[in-house]
């Protein structure tokens, strides 16, 4: 099967169930989106070329990814970030990652990384099994993840639970720190002061990029005035 044929066959099998849960296919970008008042949910299907070394047989590795954009947090983050390359709603990710990584680290700590579901398509007979597994992991992991964590309290719970350890819920520690602090402020987390001190130390100890410090300084400067829907009046 060609890559185009494989993608089409997989989506034909996924779409009925995902649409029943409110996820609409964007075939050009190869993901399913669900847009609600609180959040934008993304079940992203990644297709990677694979070749069997001994035979030269060509096929595809398919990995599902789930992302959540919690709008109240991202509306604030857009006003703080120094990153000019984030432009579309799907670029702003509050939570999420590779489904295999999420399943391999149920406690939320990034201990097992670069995991794979090993979903391979080398011939048409593989499609039904792979599509079935993608649906299984959607129902088992991705959908509950969206329903349980697609809100400010969910972000605070997942990003700030173990602030001094790497989290599986965010690949980029800059985002984790800044969005974790925004979430903590919005839900009036009583540990906010401790979180500020921990993240300030982590930026130095982990030698995070200069952009992390810049965004940290910005969020600290406006922290007292943060609330849902706040407009920072071009402060930065």
- Contact present, 175 and 93 (Cβ < 8 Å): yes
Q: Categorize the per-residue pLDDT at 158 as very low, low, confident or very high, splitting at 50, 70 and 90.
A: very high
What confidence score (pLDDT) does residue 154 get?
Answer: 98
**What are the DSSP E strand ranges found in the chain?**
24-26, 31-35, 39-51, 58-70, 95-98, 119-121
CA distance 159 to 181: 9
Contacts of 166 (CB under 8 A, 6+ apart): 109, 110, 173
Question: How does the average pLDDT of the chain come out, rounded?
Answer: 95
Which whole number is the average pLDDT over 120-130?
96
**How far, in whole angstroms, is CA 110 from its chain's centroid?**
14
Best CA proximity match to 178, nearest among 204, 215, 207, 209: 215
CA distance 139 to 60: 23
pLDDT digits (tens, 9 = 90+) for 35-69: 999 999 999 999 999 987 778 789 999 999 999 99
pTM of the model: 0.94
Which whole number is the average pLDDT over 169-192?
96
- Contact present, 26 and 80 (Cβ < 8 Å): no
Q: Is the pLDDT of residue 236 over 80?
A: no
Pairing between strand 58-70 and 119-121? antiparallel
């Amino acid at each position: 099967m060609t890559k185009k044929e494989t993608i089409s066959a997989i989506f034909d099998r996924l779409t009925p169930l995902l649409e029943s849960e409110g996820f609409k296919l964007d075939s050009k970008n190869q993901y399913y989106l669900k847009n609600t008042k609180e959040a934008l949910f993304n079940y992203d299907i990644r297709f990677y070329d694979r070749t069997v070394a001994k035979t030269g047989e060509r096929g595809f590795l398919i990995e599902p990814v789930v992302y959540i954009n919690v709008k109240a947090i991202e509306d604030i983050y857009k006003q703080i970030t120094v990153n000019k390359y984030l432009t579309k709603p799907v670029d702003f990710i509050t939570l999420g990652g590779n489904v295999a990584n999420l399943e391999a680290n149920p406690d939320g700590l990034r201990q097992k990384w670069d995991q794979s579901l090993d979903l391979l398509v080398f011939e048409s007979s593989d499609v039904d099994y792979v599509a079935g597994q993608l649906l299984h992991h959607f129902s088992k992991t991705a959908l509950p993840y969206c329903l349980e964590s697609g809100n400010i309290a969910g972000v605070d719970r997942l990003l700030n639970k173990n602030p001094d350890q790497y989290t599986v819920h965010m690949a980029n520690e800059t985002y984790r720190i800044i969005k974790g602090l925004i979430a903590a402020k919005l839900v009036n987390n009583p540990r906010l002061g401790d979180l500020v001190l921990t993240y300030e130390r982590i930026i130095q100890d982990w030698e995070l990029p200069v952009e992390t410090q810049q965004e940290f300084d910005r969020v600290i400067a406006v922290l007292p005035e943060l609330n849902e829907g706040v407009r920072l009046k071009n402060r930065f």
